[in-house]
Copies of this chain bind each other. A is one copy, B any other.
Amino acid sequence: MTTPAAKPLEPSPRVLLGPGPSNVHPRVLSALGMPLVGHLDPEFVSLMDEMQGMLRQVFRTENPLTLAVSGTGSAGMEAVVVNVIEPGDKMLVCVNGVFGGRMVDVAQRAGAEVTAIERPWGEVFDPQEVEDAIKKVGPKLVGIVHAETSTGAHQPVQEIARIAHDHGAMIAIDTVTSLAGVPVEIDAWDIDAVYSGTQKCLSCPPGLAPVSFGPRAIEAIKNRKSKVQSWYLDMTMIGRYWGSDRFYHHTAPINMNFALREALALVLEEGLDARFARHALNARALATGLKAMGIDYVTAEGHRLPQLNCVSIPEGVDDLAVRKRLLHDWNVEIGGGLGDLKGRAWRIGLMGYGSRRESVTLVLAALETCLRDSGVSIEPGAALAAAAEVYAEATTATASA
């Protein structure tokens, strides 16, 4: 029953400019492919300690319970919800895209009595409407998406956190797409629980979910009357493995942790502020170029994530045909719309390692060709010229600063 040798794996050299995964720095790939050590090896244990320190820096928190859950960002969402929520608890979820909706589903499965408030996709919530809902519902936990991957909306959360606490509620935020791309200030904003993913602005392959729990959440977990419904995501047990006990829970994904450690090191070597500025600059160049082609954003002005640009597909242009061609002719992946935005929007990601001038230039040039071939009237080269001007201005500003 021997089978012939499999074909060698030769993935095409994709330029990943969709909603994630993003491209990964060679140092991260190299760390990923290193020979592994055991999950209780002193070398791995000290790597876990180092990673916890790095994750705290990136989340800007002192929370002891800060670590990487052994699953993707959605496992992080579930870990936050099932640990903080007990059956019958009230939870308020703010829904303005796919991931808010997912949080409702996850919370209901955890036995929460969920109230959802909604905003049209692409908009953000106003603190006042959240306060009204909190007053009405009296939730234990408010869940809100800081960076809605389905719309590119950037939700301010600091004021909402204050309001939640004023009314005795906790707040959990989704930073899957925001972490390391725009400021995330867990302690300064007084966030009780947060989760993220590795495959967006951290530019590590998907597979781990950084999480952090603050003092109120820890207290809630300690005072639970029921066991956490998920054994795999029970933070108390996972915390005992990451903590000084080193109590065996499950076999950690060693190589994925190697990769995340390296990705975090790259983030900290660059510096968070420099990284945010880089994301902002490249997004500005992209937006200026897109505007020159007559392409508009779906997301409300002033609330756009630089790392995820959700834009309207011009009238008469075939969504799928363009995306297929981008992939086939240029190896460029951009994302389609989800849910309400299916067929109506593209999501162009400039995340982490992928947020570079060459990415902006390539996607603008390729899109211009596709759109002109689709009959959209565009002045040749206008998008690239407009983007180039943004970079030139930025260079001048830096030089004169």
Q: A: which residues have CB within 8 A of B?
A: 1-6, 9, 11-14, 16, 18, 20-21, 23-24, 29-39, 41-43, 47, 57, 70-75, 77-78, 102, 105-106, 108-110, 197, 199, 205-207, 227-233, 248-256, 258-259, 261-262, 265, 268-274, 327, 333, 338
Contact = CB atoms under 8 A, between A and B. Distances in A.
* Secondary structure type dominating chain A contacts: loop
A265 B57 CA distance: 40
Contacts of A327: 41-42
Given A29-B35, A250-B74, A205 B255 contact: yes
A76 to B, nearest CB: 9
Contacts of A31: 9
Contacts of A261: 6, 9
A387 to B, nearest CB: 24
A206 B72 contact: no
Given A9-B31, A21-B38, A206-B254, 19 more contacts: A1-B271, A1-B272, A2-B274, A6-B265, A9-B261, A21-B251, A21-B254, A32-B33, A36-B205, A38-B333, A70-B71, A71-B232, A73-B251, A109-B227, A110-B229, A199-B251, A207-B253, A229-B229, A255-B259
Contacts of A38: 14, 16, 18, 21, 333
Contacts of A20: 251
